C-alpha cells in the first residue's frame, strides 16, 4: 500500500474533491443545462404544433376560399347566361314589335293608297260623266238622235271603265 502511494488522507481528499465537483457541476451545469434542454424540447414541440395548426388553418382557409371562388364563378356564369337569354328574348321581342309595326304601317299605307285611289276613281268617273254629259249635250244639241247618243255614251263609259280598271 505504501509503495503504491496509497494515503488515507489523500484518498479522502480526492473523494471529497469528487463530491464537491459533483455538487458544483450539479448546481452550475447539469441542472440549468438539462432544464434548458427540456425547455427547448418543449418549445420546439410547441412551435411544431403551432406550425401544424397554422398550416392546417391555412389549408382550411384556402379550401373555403376556393369554394367561395367556385361559387362566385358559377353564379357569375349563371348571371351571364340568364342575361344573354334575356337579351335574346328582348331582341326577339323588339324585332317582332318592329316587324309588326312596319307591317301595320305598310298596311295602313296600302289602305290609304287603295282608298285614295278609289276616291280618285270615283271622282274621276264623276268628272268623266259630267264631261261626257256636257260633251253629249253639246253634241246632242247639234246632230245626234237619241239612239246614237246613248250608244256613244255607253261606248265611252265602257272605255273609261276599262281605263279605270287599269
Partner 1 sequence: MKRWLPILIILAILIVPGLILPRFSTEAVTASVAVTPEVLFSLGGFKISNTLFTSWIVMILITLFAFVSTRKMSLVPSGWQNLMEIIIEGLDGLCTSVAGNRGKKFFPIVATIFLFVLFSNWLGLLPGFGPVGIIPIKEGGHAPAGITTFDLPKEIANSLGAHAGEDTHAAEKPSTDSHATEKPGEPKAGSPAAEVESEMLLAPFFRSPSTDINTTLALALISVILTQIFGMQVVGVLKYWTKFFNFDKIGKFFGSLFKGKPDFGALFYGFIDLFVGLLEFISEMVKILSFTFRLFGNIFAGEVVLLIMTFLFFALPFPFYGLEIFVGFMQAFVFAILTLVFMTIATTAHGAAEHH
Residues that bind partner 1 (CB under 8 A): 2-7, 9-15, 17-18, 20-22, 24-26, 28-30, 32-34, 36-37, 39-40, 43
Distance CA 139, CA 134 (A): 9
Give least dist CB 76 to partner 1, A: 51
Q: What is the DSSP string of 92-146?
A: HHHHHHHHHHHHHHHHHHHHHHHHHHHHHHHHHHHHHHHHHHHHHHHHHHHT--H
Is there a contact between 155 and 144 (Cβ–Cβ < 8 Å)?
Answer: no
In the complex, least distance from residue 52 CB atom to partner 1, rounded to whole angstroms: 20
Give the separation between CA 143 and CA 136, rounded to whole angstroms. 10
- Scanning the structure block, which residue is given the C-alpha cell 471529497? 16
Q: Which is nearer to partner 1, 43 or 91 (CB)?
A: 43
The distance of closest approach from Cβ of residue 50 to partner 1 in the complex, given in angstroms and rounded to an integer, is 15
* Cβ distance to partner 1 smaller for residue 40 or 110: 40
Q: Which is nearer to partner 1, 46 or 88 (CB)?
A: 46
Comparing CB distances to partner 1, the nearer of 38 and 56 is: 38
> Of 33 and 109, which CB lies nearer to partner 1 in the complex structure?
33
Contacts of 116 (CB under 8 A, 6+ apart): none
CB of 46 to partner 1, least distance (A): 12
> Nearest approach, Cβ of 71 to partner 1 (angstroms)?
46
Q: Could you give the CA distance from residue 47 to residue 40 in angstroms, rounded to a whole number? A: 10
Amino acid at each position: 500500500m505504501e509503495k503504491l502511494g496509497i494515503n488515507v488522507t489523500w484518498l479522502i481528499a480526492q473523494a471529497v474533491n469528487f463530491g464537491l465537483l459533483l455538487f458544483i457541476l450539479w448546481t452550475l451545469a447539469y441542472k440549468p443545462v438539462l432544464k434548458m434542454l427540456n425547455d427547448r424540447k418543449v418549445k420546439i414541440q410547441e412551435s411544431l404544433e403551432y406550425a401544424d395548426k397554422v398550416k392546417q388553418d391555412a389549408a382550411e382557409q384556402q379550401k373555403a376560399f376556393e369554394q367561395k371562388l367556385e361559387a362566385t364563378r358559377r353564379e357569375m356564369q349563371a348571371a351571364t347566361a340568364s342575361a344573354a337569354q334575356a337579351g335574346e328574348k328582348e331582341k326577339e321581342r323588339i324585332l317582332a314589335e318592329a316587324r309588326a309595326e312596319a307591317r301595320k304601317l305598310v298596311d295602313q299605307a296600302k289602305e290609304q293608297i287603295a282608298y285614295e285611289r278609289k276616291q280618285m276613281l270615283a271622282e274621276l268617273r264623276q268628272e268623266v260623266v259630267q264631261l261626257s254629259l256636257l260633251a253629249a249635250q253639246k253634241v246632242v244639241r247639234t246632230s245626234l238622235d237619241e239612239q246614237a247618243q246613248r250608244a256613244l255614251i255607253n261606248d265611252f263609259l265602257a272605255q273609261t271603265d276599262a281605263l279605270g280598271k287599269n
